[in-house]
Amino acid sequence: MQNFIFLIDRFDGTNSWRQRYEFPHKPGMTVLTCLIHIKENLDPTLNFTASCRSAICGACAVRVNGNALLACDTMVDDLREQWGDGPLTVSPLGNAEVISDLVVKWDEKVNRLRLANPGLHAKKEFSAHEGCRQAPQDMQAIQKQWDCILCGSCMSECNKLSDSSKDFLEPFTYTHAARYAEDSRSRNPLEHMENMEKSGMWKCLHCMECVTKCPKGISPAGAIASLRELAFKAGHTDGPGPRHADAFRTDLENTGRLNEVKLVPRTEGMVSAATKRLPFTLRMFARGKLGPVEAARLFVADNHRVEDHDGLKRILKANRK
Amino acid sequence: MQSYDIVIVGSGGAGLRAAVGALQTNPDLSILVVTKTMPTRSATCMAEGGINGVLEFAGQEDTLEAHSFDTVKGSDYLGDQEAIDFFVEKASEAVRETDFWGTPYSRRDDGRVACRLMGGHKHARTNYSADKTGHILLHSNFDYALKCGVQFRINSHLLDVAVEDGVCCGVVVRDTNTGEVTAIRSKSVVLATGGYTRMFWARTSTPYIATGDGVAAALRAGVAFKDPEMVQFHPTGVANGGVLITEAARGEGGYLINKDGERFMANYAPDRMELAPRDITARAIETEIIEGRGYGEGLGAHVLLDLRHLGRERILERLPQIRHVALLFENLDLVEQPVPIRPTAHYSMGGIDVIDHEHMKTPVPGLFAAGECSCVSIHGANRLGGNSLADAMVTGKQAGIGAASYVGGAGLKGDSSLEKLAAKWRDHFRETTARKGGATAPELREKLAATLWDGMGIFRTEEKLQAALDTVVDLQKEYETAVVGNDNPVCNTAYSHFLEVGNIFTLARCALVAAVARKESRGAHTREDFTQRDDENFLKHSLVTVNGDYHLDYRPVSINRYQPQERKY
């Protein structure tokens, strides 16, 4: 087999560069054993973090060829099957401040995690002295979200977070909020949801990167969906987020097709749509993305129904139960 | 200079529980948790089995007394009985309390916390959350600490504990991010830095960070290292590195096979075969290797764990995690091939000398210790499964309460001692990182691990221990001139590791000093030249202090209820 070649994104606090390391192939090496090999045999200045080496502490997440993964849990031979025998590029997690090389800063992430109000506020019938009671299926309902090891893989690849971290949180934060909101022992699930509502819960782009990158198979996007559901159930239906979601639901119920002309006024309100979005609409006309006649028709009427719309309605009805 | 009421070092189960315990005692205290990694990277997360604690319910046959007795017996009578009585009572409380805070335990149909039977226990009292209780407990404690507003100083490495006029007055830490050495003034300090099993670097199931930094700092501050020779070995770690293959593999019917293809447990425990207790199985595997019936040589020597006869379906259904570990570390599929295994260093029973189990006080006023780095002793010469998470929760909480109760009468002082220590460490960085040519810390660490495995492993003799001690003294000298290889102050993880290796050298030497002198076999300390337990001469704790020289002293074990008897199962 050919030698391994790692191209590592380096940063020493001042300068950034990409450094090439070449070393003999050995079957069964993980990304982490390669990093350790480099540090202890080729270059002691290389920095990364690792602790348990068995995929449970979350310390060693890095990006390889732009995708977050746990270094200890990934065989380089498997990566070669995916990417070929050429060099692998190893970089620090995305959407995080880099301290040096592959080491990123967690302080701010931990503080933002506090917004989820983690920690159970148990129902009145329970006490610290006697503990709680919980049905096995109620524990199983939250079990997956408790697999989170705070490795930051979901954060690294989140497209919304790359756009702006001012109005969106690291996806694992929503997972944390949901695992307490959905716990049958919880006194008031809303206390875990309400901060999330103010901190980006409705702004997820549904790109599903967090779901595909989680090394533990958790769905932060699913956690966001369940928090949204909780908001609706609690009557928090006002605001662009809930209205946007409601517009999708109504369209599915009415025709099965999304009416994109009405989507913006229904989400943002008529005034905002007519003023803020007008230039955008005109550009769409100019580029031929939308015809004025078609737009007018959709505005007053609606789409044609999809074939077997009754079947869709039955699905929606079953889902609501 | 930054000042706090309490500084807690370490963010594993014990450290987090200490922080919460202190704030529950007095929410107005200023508390800082100093941690060399992001919290939640600690060994706590690797515990799988569960947390012991006897719960009350109709028809419960188990009692606190039974848990206490099993722990005393398991400790081979080196555990302090008064402390163990206190521990089992608080362990039961800890399970109910963490349940109330949100720890998602597995449940029985009636909604109670589920528990399982573990080795050495008469009753099922190990409460669990599937097979990742440690991870779940660690994260629920972390979440609760966030809820309580606990503040963290992440990526700060403990360098020293400062003591002035015999009283603890703070810590000196190195911010790994920037390289800055900072003195932090504090009325009290809780050390919760974890175990020291990384002295067996190449053969341990514990995380890379378990380098006993707190025990070493306490030694430098004049506090004794109690029972350092007591290290627990788990029988089945993967040959390559020592990550655990859980007991479930043998529970499901796995065979242990030597080079001749023989199920050798027939010669050691013919009735129970592979299901014999941990220590017997571990000794059997080592005997096979020593007598030439293993594969490979040196630290890589091993026997095989064969699961093939269980069939693909059962392996995939019941043991997927073990299959994954074998693939990751040995690059083989145990559906088709047996996996190389050997015992692995698993837990540190010894630790920082604690003289008051209720408040986890060390002999230095203001200095407290909790979790695996501390030694009351609850586990004596051998820890029972499920007692480690209970230890982290109970001793963590008690240390937090202890520190919070202490600070009322304490003042902030010790600036000159703190500054002096900080200056010493700034010089240390300059001096060590300027060195050119010499051994590296990783090289010395590997030599230390091999020396300890051969000399202070599962079978010990005067001759082997003494030879190991001589080698360690030589290696320590070599360490004095070893190179770091990186002089950049920013995020210099090579220097951090250099410090860690220095710590495990000190701790290994303490362990050897105590092990040579303990001329008996007790719990994890198996002497081939003294095969019996000797209560007349050694029913006492070893206490090693370092002041230029290594000095060994003893303290009697507290016995209030159970007179020592032969440990038979």
Burial pattern B335-360, b for ≥16 Cβ within 10 A else e, equals beebbbbbbbbbbbbbbbbbeebebb
Do residue A259 and residue A192 come from a single domain?
Answer: no
Tens digit of pLDDT for each residue in B247-272?
778 888 899 999 999 999 999 988 88
**Chain A residues within 8 A of B33 when measuring between CB atoms:** none
What contacts A167, CB < 8 A, 6 or more positions away? Answer: A199, A200, A203
Pairing of strands B167-175, B156-164: antiparallel
A-chain residue closest to B35, CA distance: A107
Q: In what order do the strands lie in the sheet with B255-257?
A: B231-238, B339-348, B303-306, B255-257
Residue A274, pLDDT score: 81
Tens digit of pLDDT for each residue in A153-210?
999 999 999 999 999 999 999 999 999 999 999 999 999 999 999 999 999 999 999 9
CB atoms within 10 A of CB A38: 21
- CA distances to A209, A230, B101, B151 from A112, in Å: 20, 21, 20, 13
Residue B231 has pLDDT above 80, yes or no: yes
Torsion of CA A99, A104, A106, A108, to 10 degrees: 60
Residue B549 has pLDDT above 70, yes or no: yes
* Boundary of a domain, candidates A103, A130, A148: A103
> Whole domain around residue A138: which residue ranges?
107-233
Tens digit of pLDDT for each residue in B392-428?
999 999 999 999 999 998 899 999 999 999 999 999 9
- Is the complex ipTM higher than 0.90? yes
* Identity of the residue numbered B455: G
Contact B97 A128 (CB under 8 A): yes
Do residue A137 and residue A96 come from a single domain?
Answer: no
B278 included as an active-site residue: yes
Q: What does residue A320 show for φ and ψ, rounded to 5 degrees?
A: -65, -30
Q: Which of A54-68, A281-295, B81-95 has the lowest mean pLDDT?
A: A281-295
Do residue A176 and residue A120 come from a single domain?
Answer: yes
Tens digit of pLDDT for each residue in B471-515?
999 999 999 999 999 999 999 999 999 999 999 999 999 999 999
Residue B299 has pLDDT above 90, yes or no: no
Tens digit of pLDDT for each residue in B329-372?
898 999 999 999 999 999 999 999 999 999 999 999 999 999 99
* Boundary of a domain, candidates A203, A233, A263: A233
- CATH of span B2-230+347-416: 3.50.50.60
The CATH fold assigned to B433-556 is: Methane Monooxygenase Hydroxylase; Chain G, domain 1 (1.20.58)
The pair of structure tokens assigned to B501 is 């290796």
Which one of 3.90.700.10, 1.10.10.10, 3.40.640.10, 3.30.230.10 gives the CATH number of domain B234-345? 3.90.700.10
A-chain residue closest to B103, CA distance: A120
- pLDDT band for A2, please (50, 70, 90 cuts): confident
Instruction: Tell me what the mean pLDDT of segment A1-22 comes to.
Output: 96
CB B102 within 8 Å of CB A183: yes
- Partner residue facing B207 (CB), from A52, A73, A106: A52
Q: Which residue's entry shows tokens 């100083």?
A: B153
CB B351 within 8 Å of CB B373: yes
Q: What does residue B434 show for φ and ψ, rounded to 5 degrees?
A: -85, -15
* Identity of the residue numbered B369: A
Nearest to B202, CA basis, from B456, B451, B455, B446: B446
A-chain residue closest to B208, CA distance: A51
Is some CB atom of chain A closer than 8 A to the CB atom of B89?
no
Nearest to A197, CA basis, from A176, A170, A167: A167
Distance CA B562, CA A61 (A): 49
Residue-range domain boundaries for chain B: 2-230+347-416, 234-345, 433-556
Residue B516 has pLDDT above 90, yes or no: yes
- Partner residue facing A136 (CB), from B109, B140, B494: B109
Do residue A132 and residue A71 come from a single domain?
Answer: no
* Boundary of a domain, candidates A205, A233, A261: A233
Residue A43 has pLDDT above 70, yes or no: yes
Residue B169, pLDDT score: 97
Do residue A118 and residue A140 come from a single domain?
Answer: yes
* Identity of the residue numbered A315: I
**Torsion-angle region of A64 (φ positive above 0: left; ψ -120 to 50: alpha; else: beta):** beta
CA distance B433 to chain A (A): 11
Is some CB atom of chain A closer than 8 A to the CB atom of B102?
yes
DSSP per residue, A190-217: HHHHHHHHHTTTT------HHHHH-TT-
Do residue A191 and residue A82 come from a single domain?
Answer: no
CATH number, domain of A50, equals 3.10.20.30
DSSP bridge pairs for B257? B304
Share of chain B above pLDDT 90, in %: 88
Residue A157, pLDDT score: 97
Average pLDDT, chain B: 95
Contact B488 A103 (CB under 8 A): no
Instruction: Tell me what the mean pLDDT of segment B84-105 comes to.
Output: 98
A-chain residue closest to B445, CA distance: A40
Residue A13 has pLDDT above 90, yes or no: yes
Nearest to B137, CA basis, from B390, B370, B358: B390
Residue A321, pLDDT score: 67
**Chain B residues within 8 A of A142 when measuring between CB atoms:** 104
Do residue A223 and residue A265 come from a single domain?
Answer: no
CB atoms within 10 A of CB B269: 15
**DSSP code, position A72:** G
Is some CB atom of chain A closer than 8 A to the CB atom of B78?
no
> Number of structural domains, chain A?
3
DSSP per residue, B140-193: HHHHHHHHTT-EEEETEEEEEEEEETTEEEEEEEEETTT--EEEEEEEEEEE--
Q: What does residue B127 show for φ and ψ, rounded to 5 degrees?
A: -80, 140
**Chain B residues within 8 A of A136 when measuring between CB atoms:** 106-109
Instruction: Tell me what the mean pLDDT of segment A7-11 comes to.
Output: 98
Average pLDDT, chain A: 94
Is some CB atom of chain B closer than 8 A to the CB atom of A217?
no
Is some CB atom of chain A closer than 8 A to the CB atom of B331?
yes
Do residue A167 and residue A250 come from a single domain?
Answer: no
